[in-house]
Amino acid sequence: MNITILGAGFAALTAIKEVRKQAPSSIITVIAPEKEMIYYPSLIWIPAGIRTGDDLRINLHNFFNRMNVQFVKARVEDVIDGGRTVKTDQGDFKNDGLIIASGGRFIKKLPGIENAITPCEGIPAAEKIKSRLDALSGGTIAIGFGGNPNEPSAMRGGPMFEFLFGIDNLLRKQGRRDKFKIIFFNPAAKPGMRLGDKVPAAVLKMMQKRDIETHLGHKMVAFEANKVKTEGGEFHADLILFMPGMTGPAWSANSEIPKSAGGLILANEHCQIPGYSHTYVAGDSGSYPGPDWQAKQAHMADLQALASARNLIKELKGESDFETFKHELVCIVDTLTHGVLIKRTEKGTIMLPPCRLMHYAKRAFEWFYTRQYR
């Protein structure tokens, strides 16, 4: 059987391992723009110099050889024939089974959004933050995030809290925090509610303690070169970091593939795409049934990839005892010196106080996780 996997991120790589485990003799074809993985969770450390871009780029040549993967360097343009054909800028590729793990994209519709840096777009964005911070002698730094109004889960707020507290700590370490005003802005009156009911108050208390101002509960209107504009007013900013809500991959926008109201690829509880046989989605590309607090994060991408790979092989073998995946939000909100562990499941939320050990646990996990792909 010929299994095609789109992407080279968390979900795609986990899917590769699981397909090879479940179907050792299968042909695995991976289609992605580059033969590399970017370890996005550690982008937060680039502005402080704890990590460089090269530290977070993982060449997948050795991993693909170990997994006996056929790699195609291409950009996906569409998925047609009920999932059996992937159209790319390098030609069409047939498959017996398909796992879409090509990631999502940020919604860049706000006027003037080019004046803001979107940190999780990748290494160049994080490097730009570092260079801009290094060049500033003082001023106002505005940091915030938004969402997809049609897809509550399609947001990535956790990393913005990390950039917020990390930049605050970095400036303190450099002895120049007194020369800067830091403003956190968000359309929600209680940002971080998806992490748990008690999290917003705890996070806002951390901001207050660190003299971080807030501008909350007002819908975003626009950005200018040195200005953030909301329905509740506008304010000056010398550096703007903003994480917009997410939607599906660019190629899916005009595709006939089923999509949610928020533009993500539709999936059921087994990660199957409705109406498509032998076709699954995992990670940020997909919209999944579940609680409104479900997260777009690497941990969930891995869990969805495992379910996708196992269910695809079962379907190809004519089996029907499909698996679901667990809804679980786990993160360490890092501040450069400490880490705040937050875990949310169907049973509730656990949030531990800031702990220096958690900072080093996050760094250790990066090493542990990435070594399997080096």
For the chain, what is the HEC assignment? Answer: CEEEEECCCHHHHHHHHHHHHHCCCCEEEEEECCCEEECHHHHHHCCCCCCCHHHHEEECHHHHHHCCEEEEECCEEEEEHHHCEEEECCEEEECCEEEECCCCEECCCCCCHHHCECHHHCHHHHHHHHHHHHHCCCEEEEEEECCECCECCCCCCHHHHHHHHHHHHHHHHCCCHHHEEEEEEECCCCCCHHHCCCHHHHHHHHHHHCCCEEEECCCEEEEECCEEEECCEEEECCEEEEECCEECCHHHCCCCCCECCCCCEECCCCCECCCCCCEEECHHHEECCCCCCCCCCHHHHHHHHHHHHHHHHHHHCCCCCCCCCCCCEEEEEECCCCEEEEEEECCEEEECCCEHHHHHHHHHHHHHHHHHHC
CATH numeric code, 2-104+248-316: 3.50.50.60
pLDDT tens digits, 173-225 = 999 999 999 999 999 999 888 888 888 999 999 999 999 999 999 999 999 99
Residue 146 has a pLDDT of: 93
Whether 2-104+248-316 and 108-246 share one fold: the answer is: yes
Whether the pLDDT of residue 313 is over 90: the answer is yes
Q: Can you read off the two tokens belonging to residue 212?
A: 């971080």
Residue 328 has a pLDDT of: 92
154 to each of 147, 189, 229, how far by Cα in Å? 6, 18, 23
* CA–CA distance, 41 with 39 (Å, rounded to integer): 6
pLDDT tens digits, 29-88 = 999 999 999 999 999 999 999 999 999 999 999 999 999 999 999 999 999 999 999 999
Check the CA dihedral 210-199-188-268 and report its sign. Answer: positive
Q: Band of the pLDDT at 103, cuts 50, 70, 90? A: very high
Check the CA dihedral 19-24-27-33 and report its sign. Answer: positive
Residue 154 has a pLDDT of: 86
Q: Can you read off the two tokens belonging to residue 128?
A: 């730009």
pLDDT tens digits, 125-165 = 999 999 999 999 999 999 999 999 899 888 888 899 999 99
Residue 192 has a pLDDT of: 86
* Mean pLDDT (the chain, rounded): 95
Q: Band of the pLDDT at 292, cuts 50, 70, 90? A: confident
Residue 19 has a pLDDT of: 98
Residue 244 has a pLDDT of: 95
Residue 152 has a pLDDT of: 82
Q: Band of the pLDDT at 228, cuts 50, 70, 90? A: very high
pTM for the predicted model, two decimal places: 0.95
Average pLDDT rounded to a whole number, residues 234-259? 96
Residue 24 has a pLDDT of: 97
Please state, for a pLDDT cut of 90, what percent of the chain lies above it: 92
Domain boundaries, the chain: 2-104+248-316, 108-246
CATH class of 108-246: alpha beta
Check the CA dihedral 111-115-119-122 and report its sign. Answer: positive
Strand partners, 38: 57
Residue 295 has a pLDDT of: 83
Average pLDDT rounded to a whole number, residues 332-348? 93
